Amino acid sequence: MTGDDRDSGLAERRGVDDAVVYQPAEDSGLLAEAAIDRAHGRVLEVGTGSGWVAQQIADERGLDVVGSDLNPHAARQASERGVEGVVANLLSPFRANAFDTVCFNPPYLPTDPDNEWDDWMEHALSGGESGRELIEPFLDDVGRVLAPDGVVLLLVSSLTGYDEVLELVADAGFAAEPAVEESFPFETLTVLALRRE
């Protein structure tokens, strides 16, 4: 195989990956801004997608960052950015107290079950009927992997139900404060910083 062959193979793979991996958008930028400001210690970005947010944290703060995703194409893109990319369903493979900072920009759009399209982009965008179907199990388990003085940075859209998410946060034993917030024509995005109560 020549170098050119390898390069075109890589380009081809990137083309496929870009079609099935969430690429950085406004929500990614907001999460990166909050994380660059507040992350400390060992960092996990759940649902890392392209790995761009994780890479920003590593580059700007010099921290060790793991980027995990259910989508193997995403884990590979994160690895190609120099982040440790791991295929994982939410937090399941990670041990207790493993991280000081956990970031998550979840799939959050409320989706009519009759209109689901069952591919990797749906996994990236759809939060199920309520918009909170990934946020609930994430909040149920994140306290397990978080060090005692750890922080969780969770992106929430007004489309997902801000007050409902705050209730889930409180039920999981965390206090929340907005770290950054920005309004767009169809939604307001907030990154909540969560700490144990």
> Using CB under 6 A as the criterion, which residues of the chain lie in contact with ligand SAM when the complex forms?
22, 24, 27-28, 31, 46-50, 52-53, 69-71, 74, 88-90, 105, 107, 123-124, 134
Q: Please, which residue, 19 or 175, has the CB nearer to ligand SAM? A: 19
Across the beta sheet with 84-87, the strand order is 84-87, 65-69, 43-46, 99-104, 146-157, 188-196, 174-183
Q: Please, which residue, 68 or 169, has the CB nearer to ligand SAM? A: 68
Nearest distance, CB of residue 137 and ligand SAM, angstroms = 8
Alpha-carbon distance of 55 to 67, in angstroms, equals 9
Strands 188-196 and 146-157: antiparallel
Nearest distance, CB of residue 50 and ligand SAM, angstroms = 6
Nearest distance, CB of residue 22 and ligand SAM, angstroms = 4
Q: Please, which residue, 43 or 124, has the CB nearer to ligand SAM? A: 124
Within 8 A by CB and 6+ apart from 114, the residues are none
